[in-house]
Amino acid sequence: MSSNGKPTIVVVHGAFAESGGWDRIVARLQDEGHRVIAAANPLRSVAYDATYIRALLDSIEGPVVLVGHSYGGMVISKAAAGAENVKKLVYVAGFAPEAGDSGATLAAKFPGSTLGQTLRPVKLPDGGEDVYVDQELYHAQFAADVPGEVTRVMAANQRPITSAALEEAAEGSQAWQSIPSWFLIPEADNNIPAAVHRFMAERAKAVTTVSIPNASHAVFVSHPTEVGDLILEAAAAA
């Protein structure tokens, strides 16, 4: 908790991104008096990643607003389940699964995702597989409304995720089932169709749902003002 009594805000990136992508939003939240932690999501498996983020949450004194982008939504939904200090959830183009849902099954629930055809595999020593978005396709797939000189760097800096993590089903109770949630929907998301985001927001009975026309999956980079506004709304809510 910040010394002024404001909640700590923890932001969790998803696949093919990294914690530095939150920079402009982090700076604004800090300017508003919040302590902010941009967590480094391991992107190894839903269960492992959630345990990792839960350890971070358990180390924080006072109330927390927990924010997840993309696959980061899978992680925060499990990590915050039963965490008494997490008071609000914010899904920024993020998955909000229930038990049995995986990132892959949710993304395919409605037509429109073109992510699969852009992924490039890297075989791992343990027999598993990491996947990256092809750098030549990254701009159009992930961040079409972000300047090309920015997406070139984002593509090079992207963090891979295991194929298994994308296919792993959520288990047990999910935090959005008991913690108030806020959703931001980018209407031109090529990774997770907007119809999927709307379905999840309605299922979660979101307090507020904000839609941004023509916004890409990388909405936290292209529309930091709107994303920051929603996080601050959640942080200020009773």
Integer CA distances (angstroms), 174 to 109, 132, 147, in order? 19, 27, 36
Of all residues in the chain, what percent carry a pLDDT higher than 90? 97
Q: What is the mean pLDDT of the chain?
A: 97
Whether the predicted pLDDT of 121 surpasses 80: yes
What confidence tens digit (pLDDT) does each residue in 20-45 have?
999 999 999 999 999 999 999 999 99
Of all residues in the chain, what percent carry a pLDDT higher than 70? 99
Three-state helix/strand/coil letters over 200-212: HHHHCCCCEEEEE
Neighbours of 33 (CB within 10 A): 12
Whether the predicted pLDDT of 60 surpasses 80: yes
CA distance 187 to 228: 18
CA 187 to chain CA mean position, Å:
16
CA distance 201 to 210: 10
Q: What is the pTM of this model?
A: 0.97
CA distance 179 to 202: 14
At 4, the pLDDT band (50, 70, 90 cuts) reads confident
Contact predicate 10/67, CB 8 Å? yes
What confidence tens digit (pLDDT) does each residue in 81-119 have?
999 999 999 999 999 999 999 999 999 999 999 999 999
At 204, the pLDDT band (50, 70, 90 cuts) reads very high
What confidence tens digit (pLDDT) does each residue in 164-194 have?
999 999 999 999 999 999 999 999 999 999 9
Tokens 């993304």 belong to residue: 107
CA distance 16 to 131: 9
What confidence tens digit (pLDDT) does each residue in 150-161 have?
999 999 999 999
pLDDT for res 238:
81
